[in-house]
Structure 1
Amino acid sequence: MMSSKNRNILLNQMSQNEFDVVVVGGGITGAGIALDASSRGLKVALVEMQDFASGTSSRSTKLVHGGLRYLKQLEVKMVADVGKERAIVYENGPHVTTPEWMLLPIYKGGTFGKFSTSLGLRVYDFLAGVKKSERRSMLSKTETLKKEPLVKQENLLGGGYYVEYRTDDARLTMEVLKSAVSYGATVLNYVKANEFSYHTNRVNGIHATDLVSDTPFSIKGKYVINATGPWVDEVRKKDYSTNNKNLRLTKGVHLVFDQSVFPLKQAIYFDTPDGRMVFAIPRDGKTYVGTTDTFYNSEKATPKMTNEDREYILESIRFMFPEVNVHEEDVESSWAGIRPLIYEEGKDPSEISRKDEIWEHESGLITIAGGKLTGYRKMAEQVVDLVVSRMKLNEGIIYSASNTKNIRISGGDVNGSNGFQKYIEKIVNECKNEYLEKKTNRGINQNVWFQHSTCTLFYKYLLHIPVDYYAQLMYSIEHEMAYTPTDFFVRRTGDLYFNIEKVLLYKDQVITIMSQELNWTIDETKRYTQDLERELTDATEPINLH
């Protein structure tokens, strides 16, 4: 039931049933809550104002990481919690999470010294419960340069070498949502929660609008959870009860380069000229670098890179990689995301804690604020623990404890990380279709995806689109609720960020296919085409604030 062709059915289900939990927000946190609650047997509805993962959950550094720098800020509990969560996220979704060895070059006068790096990484290994094969090692200057010859040699003392986990954040969110649906959750994108409904001053649902058909409807639920990330405060204002907490938004920008101009071979975590630290990560023939960290007070739905953001990252690259001669015209693509952080008086953006908090309001509304991608599962568990404790107290209903530690997300039931490579080898050997590339980011869902290629070879010739790309598109429409070309190019494939040439080459064909499959009106076709063009512009052209 995650087909864009079934929107009317899903709308009817949402409006005609009463749910135990209504989740507002379809990012990774909301998705995690939907999975945890539905897997315990609760009846769950989830709505998202935009597309799933369209906010922070598709605009991160795309790392499931423990936050080494938080040790320096003495946030020991956070490092321990999210460090352990890394391993759980990896084992439950090895098809969307990959170990990435990270090099931390150490310089005289840098953020981390040799001793502090060695000690910090050792503590990091201990707190995060890092398995033996992935524990840190310390490198000499020669060994560091052998790992990555592009790093600056002046004042280089050596390096720390440790493991983080690279992911596709939007894909991770999508697989968690699909898992929630498999447990009975009803989810729908492009639905705006307008206001809360009440019974004797207690929240008992939401009044919403389906933005595709412009149809108002209501959803009844015993508990409503506000998991809207950067919009948390906005949603709370719709409720009569308040607290003295609020968010402070910061913006992070990443730039993408082709490896022909930035031939990085090793992921690096490095110092910037102003004493911050950023990542440079190789991925599929590209190198991406980020992130910035600045306070943000503008439009939340479409944050944009500025000239200052771009120059900051370019200058950071030149500072750490003096032989890499990158300029504005070398930036292939970019993305800007917003971090919803819990406000702390007097702190700079990089100093504000990434901790999460649960706020229970007088009206019964539950809000989850702050947090990191890595900790989404634990955050969801804590939120649902609160809901089931209230249900036990108020209604005498007892639900089981969370079991998401052991739930393989959609596509990930491949016997854990050790079994994933064997599974891929099996799939590749079984796939005899010469028209298909051997994709790996669908896991066991790959079989369904392959089915979309059969009997569709005419598209290769009629529309000049590769069959594997057509199959990917149809899978996204019929199994992942993609409704617009931006959904497909940004959040189902990531191509607008990491393969923008492919978007430019096939955007017209994708728009034609989607308009036919989803029966768009002329106005819808025009609007969705304009949305995609705007996304392409935002990814390649900065705005000038002056």
Structure 2
Amino acid sequence: MNALAGISTLDRDKYFSAVTTTTFDVLVIGGGIMGAGIALDAATRGLKVLLVEKQDFAAGTSSRSTKLIHGGLRYLKNFEIGLVRTVASERKVLHRNAPHLVLPEPMLIPILKNASYGYWATKAGLTLYDFLGNVEAPERHRMLDKKATVNQEPLLNPEKLQGAGCFVEFRTDDGRLTMEVLKTARNSGAVCLNYCELNCFTYDEEKQLNGAELQDKLTGNNYLVKAQCVINATGPWSAKLMQQDDQKRISELIHTKGVHLVVPFQKFPLKQSVYFDIPGGRMLFAIPRYDVTYLGTTDTPFTGNLENPTVEKEDVTYLLAEINNMFSGVNLKASDVVSSWAGVRVLLYEANKKPSEISRKDEIFTSASGLITVAGGKLTGYRKLAEQVVNKTLEMHFPENRQTSRTAKIKLAGGDFENADAVKAFLKSCQEIAHIHKYVPETMAYLVRTYGINTKAILKEACRLKAENLAPENRLLQAEICYTIQNEGVTNLSDFLIRRTGKLYFERETIAAILPTVKAAFQKILNLGNDEIEKQETEFQKHYEAAVAFKNESKNAMVSA
């Protein structure tokens, strides 16, 4: 393994001082799922890789999706057969390589009276979907009549129903998946740095890219890095970097916004996930997840702040109206929403088309200077697109390297289990440990589905902390924070509470109670002064309030217990 490889916040100075004396084969700009996938594919083909991200890893679209590994059923409407085939088959690969994190999710698609897609059209679509994804018999679709549909999901409005199709998708945590891919790339020798921004590209005498000037956003220090190839995997920022490389370049990309809302499960007690058509060509999800149900997504043109896309009142009104129309007796209001998030997609421009009508195809651009840009990537299909990008990289810069991609068979970090049954067995062993140490059993389930086999490292650290006389759950929380700082590049409260754990989205109302323990752990492990930890809390407070800012309440602020 490359001696530089790591994602430890405690070793940032060492990484930065060393990268200036190394000539990399590939510099990847962007630490979302596409950049992570490219770094992993390139590193496992023997290339020396540096990945940099100006924010935290997965801070953009890659932590703001619907959090599904789905086969793109709706892409069939646009006859994008090749795209559906790719993403539908990739679900199996990701489930196999990260069985703790990518889990089967039965999905119901209602067939409505007077809808454009009736029983036979839905059946034909699901049959083709099963075929394209090579779905095995136990997970192939089933068609339900009206009575069976209502039994399966009583909240659906029976007056609108004719029946339903039932099929299987996979759910995940997008920020966690990105992190596990990055850690796997690190284990293969890649150097991955968050809070490291591109200042400018550098060029040789023939105006070919040969590296970049980077800035450590935590210290303000600038660094010159040499690389034979530079890859732009910045998602919504792709056009900006393309124009930075070639100022005459006209953007061929557009941005759209997707919004998701979270409500308490008792307010919307779905028995299972539902995926349904609405007027205008969109399809909405409603997905139960532990103590909450979340729903989305919108697809509207976006021209705002890419770093902080916001959820507006209009978004909330639109989503809740469609949910209340589809489900009887729910009657959700804006006051019921306990959290939300908005993400920005990048799509290839197509004249005279609404966002929902634009193709979700991917594209790889190459500039005259050699900059390789990937646009249009999706969470589900990231691995295959990364493979194509690295193929292009080898063709352009390393023709002597004839290695093919191996990522289809590489277990992701935390996912070193033979199958889903092995995950259950591991969880059972962790719950036995929980009983001995008086940990809450549900916490073990959370840790295993979040960190997989690496839960062992967290439990080991929690055992070491026993001498400090902390309450069991506080000890476990401090151990988790320690793990993410040492292994996942966590530098501040927002990194941990938003992207590594998803607590802001799915457990927002519990944050005030744990915040003192979280702050104390950060101060201790990172040796932070009071001013710095208060600065971090103030920054997190902005995100905390933004999650329900559309309510315009005067008391959205978090109060520490």
Greater shift, 508-517 or 192-201, is seen at 508-517
> Could you report, residue by residue, the CA deviation over 1:379-403 in whole angstroms, capped at 9, with x for unpaired residues?
110111111122344xxx3241100
- After superposition, give the CA deviation of every residue in 1:249-294 in whole Å (9 maximum; x if it has no partner): 0001100011111111110002335552100000011100000111
In 1, Cα distance between the equivalents of 2:248 and 2:448? 46
Deviates more, 1:314-323 or 1:422-431: 422-431
SS at 1:219 equivalent: strand
Please point out which of 457, 460, 463 is paired with 1:454. Answer: 463
Unaligned runs of 5+ residues in structure 2 are 1-5, 553-561
Structure-1 residue corresponding to 2:480: 472
Match of 1:368 among 359, 369, 374: 374
Q: Does 1:213 align with 2:213?
A: no
Per the normalisation by structure 2, the TM-score is: 0.93
For 2:532 and 2:134, how far apart are their aligned partners in 1? 50
Contact in 2 for aligned 1:64/1:373 (Cα 8 Å):
yes
Q: Which of residues 495, 499, 513 in structure 1 aligns to 2:507?
A: 499
1:148 partnered with 2:128 = no
Which of residues 351, 354, 359 is equivalent to 1:348?
Answer: 354
What's 1:388 paired with? 394
Q: CA deviation at 1:207?
A: 0.4
1:303 & 1:351 partners in 2: Cα distance? Answer: 22
Aligned 8 A contact 1:201 1:363 in 2: yes
Give the drift of 1:522: 5.0
The offset of 1:245, in angstroms, is 5.1
Asked if the contact 2:334/2:551 (under 8 Å) is kept, the reply is no
Residue identity opposite 1:435 in structure 2: Y
| Paired residue type of 1:181 | R
Q: 1:265 aligns with which of 262, 271, 278?
A: 271
1:316 Cα deviation after fit? 1.1
Quote the residue 1:125 is aligned against: 130
Cα distance between partner residues in 2 of 1:516 and 1:422: 34
Whole-Å separation in 2 of the counterparts to 1:342 and 1:368 = 11
1:513, distance to aligned residue in structure 2 (A): 2.1
Instruction: Name the residue aligned to 2:296.
Output: 290
Correspondence list, 1:529-544, <5 A: 529-542=537-550
- Matches of 1:458 and 1:503, distance apart in 2: 26
Q: Using the alignment, how far apart are the partners of 1:94 and 1:2 within structure 2?
A: 23
Among 318, 321, 327, the alignment partner of 2:324 is: 318
C-alpha distance in 1, partners of 2:367/2:281? 40
Cα pair 1:485 1:507 within 8 Å, conserved: no
Deviation at 1:507, TM superposition (A): 2.0
The offset of 1:240, in angstroms, is 2.8
Percent of aligned pairs sharing the same letter: 44
What do the CA deviations read for 1:110-152 (whole angstroms, capped 9, x no partner)? 2421111000000000011111110001001011001110011
Question: Which residue is 1:514 aligned to?
Answer: 522
SS of the residue corresponding to residue 448 of structure 2 reads coil
Distance 2:371 2:56 in 1: 23
- The answer on whether the counterparts of 1:247 and 1:343 sit within 8 Å (CA) in structure 2 is yes
Show the counterpart of 2:231. Answer: 225
Asked if the contact 2:27–2:50 (Cα under 8 Å) also holds between the matched residues in 1, the reply is: yes
Residue matched to 1:79: 84
Q: Structure 1 residues 502, 458: closer, same or farther in 2, change over 3 A?
A: farther
Structure 2 match to 1:433: 437
Structure 2 counterpart of 1:142, which letter?
A: K
Task: Answer whether contact 1:251 1:294 (CA < 8 A) is retained.
Answer: yes
CA contact (8 A) 1:41 1:399 kept: no
C-alpha deviation, 1:541, in angstroms: 1.4
Q: For 2:417, which of 399, 414, 417 is the aligned residue?
A: 414
CA shift, 1:371, in A, is: 1.9
**How far is 1:96 from its partner?**
0.8
CA–CA separation in structure 1 for the residues paired with 2:534 and 2:433? 41
Matching of residues 2-41 of structure 1 within 5 Å: 2-41=7-46
Q: CA deviation at 1:430?
A: 5.6
* Contact preservation (8 Å) 1:4, 1:478: yes
Aligned AA (2:438): E
**Of 396, 399, 402, the match for 2:405:** 402
Shift of 1:435: 2.7
Q: Give distance in 2, aligned partners of 1:421 and 1:506.
A: 28
TM-score (norm 1): 0.95
The number of residues matched between the two structures is 540
Q: What residue in structure 1 maps to residue 74 of structure 2?
A: 69
Shift in alpha-carbon separation, 1:537–1:458, aligned structure 2, 3 A = farther
Question: 2: distance between equivalents of 1:417 and 1:378?
Answer: 23
Name the CA shift for 1:522/1:205 in 2 (closer, same or farther; >3 Å). farther
For 1:38 and 1:241, the matched residues in 2 are separated by: 31
Q: How far apart are 1:543 and its partner, in Å?
A: 8.0
Gaps of 5+ in 1: none
- Tell me if the contact between 2:243 and 2:249 (Cα under 8 Å) persists in the aligned partners: no
